[in-house]
Amino acid sequence: MAELTSLQDALIEEIKDLYDAEHQLIKALPEMAEAATNGALQSAIDAHLEETRGQISRLEEVFELLDERPKGKHCAGIAGIIEEASEALGEDAPGSVIDACIIAGGQRAEHYEMAAYGTVVAWARTLELEQVAQLLEQTLEEEKAADEKLSDLAEAGINQSAMEAEDD
């Protein structure tokens, strides 16, 4: 970790972490979409993949505003979440159960990102970096919407289907 001597240093380190997290998700999301058996879940994952690409571009804009070169720092948190979610994909389970597990992993990732983006938005505002805060807040709102979409899918039938699959 770089030497932290200021809140701005901490902000930059956290943005590097998020930059890596988003790149890890770009690699993991197609595998999740392919494993999903529910069409609406597949579509939601594909849509969030495109959104994630935009989030990376937004982070690159943030780096530019901070006079920093876009560079990631390994995000162990999201790596662990992806690893746990990937384990479920290898299970011999009904598709609806796999779908429920994909949603669980996706929501873990979204909650991690919401916490991280919430922090950097607050720090950017404290540092009076309003343009940076606005860009990061846009991503925060997208992460919240993605989490809500996953909840809606789970509650609209995927969890029920997973439960019924256990009875078969």
Contact between residue 99 and residue 44 where contact means Cβ atoms under 8 Å apart: no
The half-sphere exposure of 151 on its side-chain side, counting CA atoms within 13 A, is: 9
Q: How many CA atoms lie within 13 A of 141 on its CB side?
A: 6
Distance CA(16)–CA(70), nearest Å, equals 8
Single out the residue of 41, 27, 155 nearest to residue 99, CA to CA: 41
The predicted pLDDT at position 103 comes to 96
Tens of pLDDT along 101-133? 999 999 999 999 999 999 999 999 999 999 999
Nearest to 146 by CA among 99, 109, 95, 116: 109
pLDDT of 146 reads: 96
Q: What is the CATH number of the domain that holds 76?
A: 1.20.1260.10
Q: What is the pLDDT along the chain (168 residues), one digit of tens a residue?
A: 568 899 999 999 999 999 999 999 999 999 999 999 999 999 999 999 999 999 999 999 999 999 999 999 999 999 999 999 988 887 788 889 999 999 999 999 999 999 999 999 999 999 999 999 999 999 999 999 999 999 999 999 898 998 888 655
- Residue 2 placed within a domain: no
Answer whether residue 72 is part of any domain.
yes
- Specify if 1 maps to a domain: no
Counted domains in the chain: 1
Residue 83, domain member (yes or no): yes
Closest CA to 62 of 26, 11, 116: 11
What pLDDT, on a 0 to 100 scale, did the predictor assign at position 166? Answer: 64
Query: Can you give the residue range of the structural domain that contains 63?
Result: 7-167
Helix, strand, or coil here: 5? Answer: coil
pLDDT of residue 4: 86
In the prediction, which pLDDT does 125 show?
98
What is the residue whose two structure tokens read 């256990």?
166
Domain-embedded: residue 95: yes
Q: What is the number of other CB atoms lying within 10 angstroms of the CB of residue 14?
A: 18
